[in-house]
Amino acid sequence: MRIRTAAALVFCLAGSQQTAWAGYDSHPKFEQFATELEKEYQIPPEEAKRWLAQSKRLNSVLEAISRPAERTLQWDRYQDIFLTQKRIQGGKKFLKTHAALLAKAEQEYGVPREIITAIIGVETFYGTRQGSYRVLDSLATLAFDYPKRPLFWKQLKAFFAMTRDEGLDPGKIKGSYAGAMGYGQFIPTSFLAYAVDGDNDGKRDLWNNPADAIASVANYFKRHGWRTDEPVTQRVRVQGSAYEPLVNDNRKPKWTAGQLIDKGVSFTQEGGDLQRPANLIRLQGKQGAEFWLGEYNFYVITRYNHSRMYAMAVYQLSKALSE
């Protein structure tokens, strides 16, 4: 008990010292950051200094990034989290409330409304759980104090470009501990590349404006190669052992449907071009191993989030929403 108290006290002091040495503008790597920011986005170093002086190290962010809980789950548990009655009901309500916006996005980008809705449902429970971290703090903490992932260094630069472009106050933006923002949890580089102004009011507001959020998710899918009216996946059966080296091999399909059949895979839904790209996916389900056909659109969903379980949850939620 005494040891724990002492440790807690030390931790507490360390924490207050860390916030006391002001912001990340006094970090040894600040000059490099400011130089790159100016070179890449023409943002003057004084701007970087002004904002980073207000940034704070968040130990909770470093703790959160060190335990990526969802990735360690198997599909049997993962689906319990994302395919609940509550999430299905919420999605049906979202489809109804935003029917006109979803129809417009579907027409313009060729992405089904149920897929757009399922993404937003899995990411933020339809916009209601967007994350409460101040992105200035979370991204600065990860960029400067989590060198294992240079991605965040890049994201912090893009974050300042985003707030400049949109006329936003960097200190007021909220998001996940990893800097994902809004209904669809766009990271700053995704915002710069794929966010669109869905209602033509001159702003891209992915936090409060469902028109912008819906159109941006649809645009993301279109730009990543979504194939309109093509399937996503279907359950398959396997026999023999020739299929084994193909299991979960490449995110991007590198086989054809015909080649999978040759290796002992049989489809539950017949038809379709045997020359089309395809993958073999195995998930650990409640009744043991499940095998699925990864169509090209399944791969496109994994470009939103690399996890096969994520893509499957989005697909199955979208199916539940269309019933």
The yes or no reply on residue 49 touching Ca ion (CB under 5 A) is no
Helix (H, G, I), strand (E, B) or coil at 289: strand
- Residue range at the interface with Ca ion (CB under 5 A); choices 192-200, 223-231, 289-297, 302-310: 192-200
| Segment 29-34 long-range contacts (CB within 8 Å, at least 24 positions apart) | 29/144, 30/144, 33/143, 33/144, 33/153, 33/156, 33/157
Asked if 98 and 183 touch (Cβ cutoff 8 Å), the reply is: no
Across 136-244, the runs of DSSP E, i.e. the strands, are: 174-175, 233-238
State the Cα–Cα distance between residues 185 and 257, nearest whole angstrom: 33
- What is the closest distance, in whole angstroms, from the C-beta atom of residue 211 to Ca ion in the complex? 6
CB atoms within 10 A of CB 305: 18
The yes or no reply on residue 201 touching Ca ion (CB under 5 A) is yes
- Residues near 86 by beta carbon (within 8 Å), at least 6 away in sequence: none
The yes or no reply on residue 203 touching Ca ion (CB under 5 A) is yes
Residue 106, token pair as written in the block: 């579907």
* 107 vs 228 by CB, closer to Ca ion: 107
The yes or no reply on residue 210 touching Ca ion (CB under 5 A) is no
Residues 239-298 that bind Ca ion (CB under 5 A): none
The yes or no reply on residue 166 touching Ca ion (CB under 5 A) is no
Does residue 323 carry a catalytic annotation? no
* 132 vs 200 by CB, closer to Ca ion: 200
The yes or no reply on residue 197 touching Ca ion (CB under 5 A) is yes
The yes or no reply on residue 199 touching Ca ion (CB under 5 A) is yes
- What is the closest distance, in whole angstroms, from the C-beta atom of residue 164 to Ca ion in the complex? 17
Residues 130-159 that bind Ca ion (CB under 5 A): none
Among the options 123, 166, 270, 323, which is catalytic? 123
Number of residues in contact with Ca ion, rule: CB under 5 A? 5
Dihedrals phi, psi of 290, to nearest 5 degrees: -115, 135
Residues identified as active-site = 123
Residues that bind Ca ion (CB under 5 A): 197, 199, 201, 203, 212
